[in-house]
């Protein structure tokens, strides 16, 4: 239970109607969860406007309502708090509700199109390797110290987010790493959080279904750096076109990392293999269990973030070799037939390019790459033909297949992808909607030394079809196929 007055203290308030001397027993922005004594926050959403549900919330026992516009009928039992932005207010309220857990942790946020999960997870892992208790909020899984909590968002809603941070504080965690998605920044899910640092990975095309333009997408990501406090660090990728723009207006201390030029944290690939990389970090050579230039970027960012957090350079460098890849990110499986299958979460054109370049660098121009890839339904359609074109340009053979079709017809998605292929590429392309069958076919075609890339679903253990998640796991499928070959 909390006093309404106390909850409202950090808010920018236009006006209050009614008493703020009340006890509040629950906080929610979902009218369906309202019970007696609740503070209901009416948030204009993407599909509906939460203001519509104010009457329902009142009927169910809400004693206070935070809104941008007053409802036409006011109840005398309810206190109305009018604010400029309910979404922003919800962030601050959720922080207050859980006693500002982000201020009791050293919280680092990671944003960018690709590499967020990898970077955030490795910062969390590094904290643990160095003997600290830590938490993680990521696309794959949330962790409070070593306890796993399932997640279905990259960045949860403000209530869940602060609840998780609160659990971390309760468990004695000192550090936390989290992904900041562009949706989350745009919808103010991170409002009110206190970060000790922010990391930018890169910006390429994704989520234009939601943000509409690349500029709006960039603005959403930049918002995160704009909110960092002056004592925080902001670490950006100097090699990315917009790396500098991200930090343009931040108050935080600015740092850079790069694989190409002089930077605060300078990475250089010394040797690249399918099972690892020898990376030089500010002149110190480190053996890594990660493959590809894109991972050299991630690990350079991780190194920078860890040093900026305040850990000793020598300790960080020593432990980097013990970091292991994140589930479904460049995960390799070796067949007795002599081919290697790589399951990777590449689901954007840029990620597809990077992963295929990483494989090509290692196996050389004469090696054979067979790529199995699809694209998600009800998501950015514009990326589909580009993903197919880039995959075809970097693979000897391409098998287009279904990803998570959601509410679209898989055939339509594959058709959109095929639009990106010219005649020559089409000749090397198969179209097998059934994902299991597509992977099987790739395994049949593969010979000694071939590499099969199974892209797009990584750690996902389901295929989402018309609102139902059916069990499906690329890693399980390839392991079964390989077991049959023995
Ligand atoms: C498009 C989008 O991002 N939607 C998110 C958004 O929901 P919304 O704005 O659509 O909510 P809404 O349904 O319009 O409802 C508006 C308000 O009315 C309330 N409501 C609604 C119905 C009702 O009966 N009563 C009621 O009070 C809702 O609780 C809400 O407060 O706010 C919700 C709460 O934070 C999110 O759960 C929801 O995520 C949806 C499920 C989603 O799929 N989001 C994806 C696209 C997403 O966020 N992805 C990113 C990562 C992407 C990536 O980089 O890979 C992520 O961070 O996970
Ligand atoms: N630094 C990087 N640059 C480009 N591509 C990358 C980078 N790191 C990872 N990738 C590719 O992107 C895929 C997703 O990586 P990761 O899960 O770390 O990113 P993410 O930003 O968390 O993605 P999401 O937004 O879906 O949560 C990987 O499987 C790999 O193919
Ligand atoms: N978090 C991302 C992941 C997409 C992964 C891909 N498998 C798909 O379903 O499109 C999204 O929701 O856009
Ligand atoms: Mg992620």
What would the mean pLDDT of 370-399 be, rounded to a whole number?
A: 97
pLDDT for the residue numbered 386: 97
Amino acid 233: pLDDT: 98
pLDDT of residue 208 exceeding 90, the answer is: no
118 Cβ closer than 6 Å to some ligand 2 atom:
yes
Is the CB of 138 inside a 6 Å radius of any atom of ligand 3?
Answer: no
pLDDT number for residue 247: 96
- Give yes or no for residue 379 CB within 6 A of ligand 3: yes
The residue whose CA is least distant from atom 29 of ligand 1 is: 30
Q: Report the SS3 class of residue 233.
A: strand
Mean pLDDT along residues 67-85? 97
What mean pLDDT do residues 117-129 have?
98
- With a cut of 90, say whether residue 216 has pLDDT above it: no
pLDDT over threshold 80, residue 131: yes
Q: Is residue 214 predicted with pLDDT exceeding 90?
A: no
Ligand 2 geometric centre to CA of 419 (Å): 25
Q: Residue 409 above 90 pLDDT?
A: yes
Which residue's CA is minimally distant from atom 9 of ligand 3? 376
Provide the token pair at 176: 């936390």
- pLDDT surpasses 80 at 329: yes
Expressed in angstroms and rounded, the spacing between residue 86 Cα and the centre of ligand 1 is 14
User: DSSP character for 48?
Assistant: S
Of the ranges 123-127, 133-137, 330-334, 390-394, which one carries the lowest mean pLDDT score? 330-334
Q: What are phi and psi of 163, to 5 degrees?
A: -65, -45
Pocket test for ligand 3, best of 343, 376, 380, 405 (most atoms within 8 A of CB): 376
How many CA atoms does the CB half-sphere of 146 hold within 13 Å? 4
Pocket of ligand 1, beta carbon within 6 A: 29-32, 43, 45-48, 50, 53, 153-155, 157, 181, 183-184, 187, 189
Exposed, middle or buried: residue 90 (CB in 10 Å: 0-12, 13-18, 19+)? buried
For residue 57, which atom of ligand 1 is closest to its CA? 27
Q: What is d(CA 349, CA 372) in angstroms, rounded to the nearest whole number?
A: 14
Nearest-atom index, ligand 2, CA of 298: 1
pLDDT of residue 424: 98
Q: What is the band of 188 on the pLDDT scale with cuts at 50, 70, 90?
A: very high
Complex ipTM over 0.90: yes
Closest ligand (CA of 42): 1
Average of per-residue pLDDT across 92-111: 98
Is the CB of residue 376 less than 8 Å from the CB of residue 140?
A: no
Per-residue model confidence (pLDDT) at position 433: 98
- Helix 116-129 and helix 313-320: axis angle, to 10°? 110
When pLDDT is cut at 50, 70 and 90, the band that residue 147 belongs to is: very high
Mutate to test the pocket of ligand 2, among 118, 328, 453 (most ligand atoms within 8 A of CB): 118
Whether residue 182 has its Cβ less than 6 Å from ligand 2:
no
Does the beta carbon of 460 lie inside 6 Å of ligand 2?
no
Q: How confident is the model at residue 296 (pLDDT cuts 50, 70, 90)?
A: very high
Answer whether residue 86 shows pLDDT above 80.
yes
pLDDT category, 89, cuts 50, 70, 90?
very high
Q: What local confidence, expressed as pLDDT, does residue 408 receive? A: 98
- Percent of the chain past pLDDT 70, that is, above it, reads 100
Q: What is the pTM of this model?
A: 0.91
- Report pLDDT for 371: 98
Q: What does the mean pLDDT of the chain come to?
A: 96
Tell me how far the alpha carbon of residue 457 lies from the centroid of ligand 3, in angstroms.
Answer: 8
Is the beta carbon of 142 within 6 A of some atom in ligand 3? no
Dihedral sign for Cα 153, 159, 160, 166, please: positive
Q: Which of 115, 184, 200 to mutate to test the pocket of ligand 2 (most atoms within 8 A of CB)?
A: 115
Q: Is 230 exposed, middle or buried (0-12, 13-18, 19+ CB in 10 A)?
A: exposed
Place 77 in a pLDDT band, splitting at 50, 70 and 90.
very high
The Cα–Cα gap between 173 and 165 comes to: 9
Distance 376 CA to ligand 3 centre (A): 6
Mean pLDDT on 81-88 = 98
* Domain annotation for the chain: domains and CATH numbers: 2-97 (3.40.1390.10), 100-321 (3.40.1190.10), 331-484 (3.90.190.20)
Nearest to 200 by CA among 295, 110, 297: 110
pLDDT of residue 401: 98
CB distance 403 to ligand 3 below 6 Å: yes
- What pLDDT is recorded for position 235? 98
Mean pLDDT over residues 337-364, rounded?
A: 95
Q: Name the pLDDT band for 164 (thresholds 50, 70, 90).
A: very high
SS3 406: strand
pLDDT digits (tens, 9 = 90+) for 30-72: 999 999 999 999 999 989 999 999 999 999 999 999 999 999 9
| pLDDT (0 to 100) of residue 334 | 93
Specify the pLDDT at position 275. 84
pLDDT of 220 reads 86
């Amino acid at each position: 239970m909390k006093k309404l007055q106390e909850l409202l203290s950090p808010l920018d308030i236009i006006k209050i109607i009614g008493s703020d001397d009340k006890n509040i027993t629950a906080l929610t922005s979902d009218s369906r969860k309202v019970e007696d004594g609740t503070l209901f926050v009416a948030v204009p959403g993407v599909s509906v406007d939460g203001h519509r549900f104010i009457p329902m919330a009142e009927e169910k026992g809400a004693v206070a309502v935070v809104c941008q516009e007053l409802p036409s009928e006011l109840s005398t039992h309810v206190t109305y708090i009018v604010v400029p932005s309910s979404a922003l207010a919800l962030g601050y309220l959720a922080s207050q509700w859980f006693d500002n857990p982000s201020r009791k942790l050293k919280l680092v946020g990671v944003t960018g199109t690709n590499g967020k999960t990898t970077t955030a997870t490795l910062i969390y892992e590094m904290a643990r390797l160095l003997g600290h208790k830590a938490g993680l909020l990521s696309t794959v899984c949330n962790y409070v110290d070593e306890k796993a909590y399932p997640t279905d968002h990259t960045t949860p809603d403000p209530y869940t987010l602060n609840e998780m941070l609160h659990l971390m504080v309760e468990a004695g965690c000192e550090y936390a790493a989290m992904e900041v998605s562009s949706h989350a920044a745009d919808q103010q899910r991170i409002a009110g959080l206190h970060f000790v640092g922010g990391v930018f990975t890169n910006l390429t095309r994704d989520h234009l279904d939601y943000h509409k333009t690349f500029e709006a997408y960039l603005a959403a990501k930049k918002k995160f750096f704009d909110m960092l406090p002056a004592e925080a660090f902001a670490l950006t990728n100097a090699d990315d076109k917009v790396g500098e723009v991200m930090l343009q207006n931040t108050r935080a201390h600015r740092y850079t990392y790069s694989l190409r030029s002089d930077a605060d944290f300078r990475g250089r690939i010394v040797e690249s293999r399918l099972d690892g990389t020898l990376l030089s970090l500010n002149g110190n050579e480190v053996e890594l269990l990660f493959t590809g230039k894109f991972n050299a970027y991630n690990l350079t960012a991780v190194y920078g973030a860890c040093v900026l957090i305040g850990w000793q350079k020598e300790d960080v460098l020593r432990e980097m070799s013990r970091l292991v890849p994140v589930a479904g990110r460049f995960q390799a499986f070796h067949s007795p037939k002599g081919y290697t299958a790589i399951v990777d979460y590449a689901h954007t054109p840029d990620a597809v390019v990077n992963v295929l370049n990483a494989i090509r660098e290692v196996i050389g121009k004469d090696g054979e790459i067979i790529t199995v890839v699809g694209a998600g339904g009800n998501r950015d359609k514009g990326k589909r033909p580009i993903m197919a074109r880039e995959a075809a340009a970097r693979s000897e053979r391409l098998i287009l297949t279904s990803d998570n079709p959601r509410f679209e017809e898989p055939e339509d998605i594959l058709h959109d992808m095929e639009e990106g292929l010219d005649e020559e590429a089409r000749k090397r392309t198969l179209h097998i909607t059934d994902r299991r069958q597509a992977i099987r076919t790739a395994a049949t075609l593969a010979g000694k030394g071939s590499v099969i890339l199974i892209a797009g679903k990584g750690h996902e253990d389901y295929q989402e079809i018309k609102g139902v998640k059916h069990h499906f796991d690329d890693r399980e499928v390839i392991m079964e196929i390989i077991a049959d070959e023995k």
